[in-house]
Amino acid sequence: MSTTLDPTAASATSATAAPSGTSGDDAPRETFDSLDPANGDVVGTHPVCSRADVDAAVARAREAVDWWGNLSFDERAEHLLTWRSVITRRIAQLADLAHRETGKPHGDAQLEIVLAVDHIAWAARNAKKVLGARKVSSGLLMANQSATVAYHPLGVVGVIGPWNYPVFTPMGSIAYALAAGNAVVFKPSEHTPGVGQWLADTFREVVHGRDVLQVVTGLGETGNALCRARIDKLAFTGSGRTGKLVMAACAENLTPVVIEAGGKDALIVDEDADVAKAAEAALWGGMSNAGQTCIGTERVYVHQNVFDAFMTEILDQAKGLRAGADAGAKIGPITMPSQLGVIRSHLEDAVARGAKVALGGPDAVGERFVQPTILTHVPEDSTEITEETFGPTLAVNPVASMDEAVRLTNATEYGLAGAVFSRANGMSIARRIRSGMTSVNAVIAFAAVPSLPFGGVGQSGFGRIHGPDGLREFTYAKAITRQRFAPVMNLTSFARDAATDSKVAQLITLLHGGKQTLK
């Protein structure tokens, strides 16, 4: 995720005092504009929610969860599946709003909504199976006990979402938290507040005006206030640097967090790979959404025996691919203007250190758009390799073996995702990559599989969304034992005598003494 996304820092959008809205003390409410990054036009104006506004939203959520959390799994599923249908029927409306706030092409905006809808459906349909009460073995010592475990909702979950995928990414927390029985207070990015408000408004329709999912819009201080509010868990997507600030703020109330931070993901191409398909995946993984994808491809390691063929293929496929605001452009603008400087500095550093420009280059960075750029033979100590670029660039380097490819792939503080292209050894290579997710002979396919966990290791964060792990992430485990009959040996009594202790020692030796001895 972009290293400049910071909910505790000032926003790049404008903020003005508007007499049309007032806060609780009747003072003029501060507002801010969301802008179309392709042309600077105002898309919408939204309130800057104060600490009091955030606390009030959390209080309303606390009341709403008394209703929502006490519904049956089937009842919650019905509401969530209705919401899924509403979003699906209005997909063009939401996609257009996402297009205007992020600049991404309509097709890309629609794709992330499609994936999000599928995740809502999975969470709704599987929450009961994953979280519902189930019996577990009591063991021989506690054979007189019936043991069950269930997963209960935490209460109120805060979500701080990013701007690059304003529907898909936060939905991985929102939908799963809701399916588990929690209420949610969502702080969308200040660059995409309209998308967040749209999601909350449509869910409010489904639950007949109840405050189960609310949005608090604003700048850095609003996100900071949500971290410090009396919530039961916070899910954050952004940079590792900001994630540390989020954790520090949440620590004041001992609020647990889920962190999805940045990545510097690599795609590995073995000598037996389908080179055309690998090139196609690398190009899309690196350039789609203008490269503003935390699980996108930024580094490519290609076996030296097929390096020339790969470069010929990827450059041929890149012909005609360009960034722009017209219908023929498949790459949109850089959503956050400050990222342009980061992209330019990474490219300049790589070239200064000896990288070769195969396509584009530092001059490809414009005022709003960055044209596709591919560098080769990029030094491993350059920022184009070591830091998250978050732009439509690829660093493609040859390697002598897959051992070298894995070593270089893992030589990073990040560990989010990646891809491997190989006909024979894809799975074995993938298992050696230190990351939370890897696709073989595809790129970011794991994100579209609702039953798989999504998250990283190292500086890429911790905790998981999606799948059974994502449902349990927003619950606590509740263990219950029930005595079925009186114990043969009462171990929890001061009446326990020496004879009973002797029998317990004999039993535990029989069960666990084993035949192994220390040598």
Which residues are known to be catalytic? 260
Contacts (Cβ under 8 Å, ≥6 apart) of 405 = 266, 268, 270, 301, 303, 399, 429
Joined together, the tokens standing for residue 295 give 């699980």
Indicate the length of the chain as a whole number.
519
Cα–Cα distances (Å) from 229 to 52, 156, 224, 250, 415, in that order, read 10, 10, 9, 8, 30
Do 191 and 13 form a contact (C-beta atoms < 8 A)?
A: yes
CB 74 within 8 A of CB 128: yes
Decide: residue 107, CB within 10 A, 0-12 exposed, 13-18 middle, 19+ buried. exposed
Element (H, E) at 468: helix 467-472
The arrangement of strands across the sheet holding 418-421 comes to 356-359, 373-376, 393-399, 299-303, 266-269, 418-421, 439-440
Cα 168 to Cα 124: distance, rounded to the nearest angstrom:
16
- Tracing tokens 């104060």 back to the chain, one arrives at 50
Asked whether the beta carbons of 375 and 351 are under 8 A apart, the reply is yes
Report how far residue 115's alpha carbon sits from residue 67's, in angstroms, rounded to the nearest whole number: 29
Beta carbons of 47 and 30 less than 8 angstroms apart: yes
Cα angle 242-244-245, degrees, rounded to a multiple of 5: 65
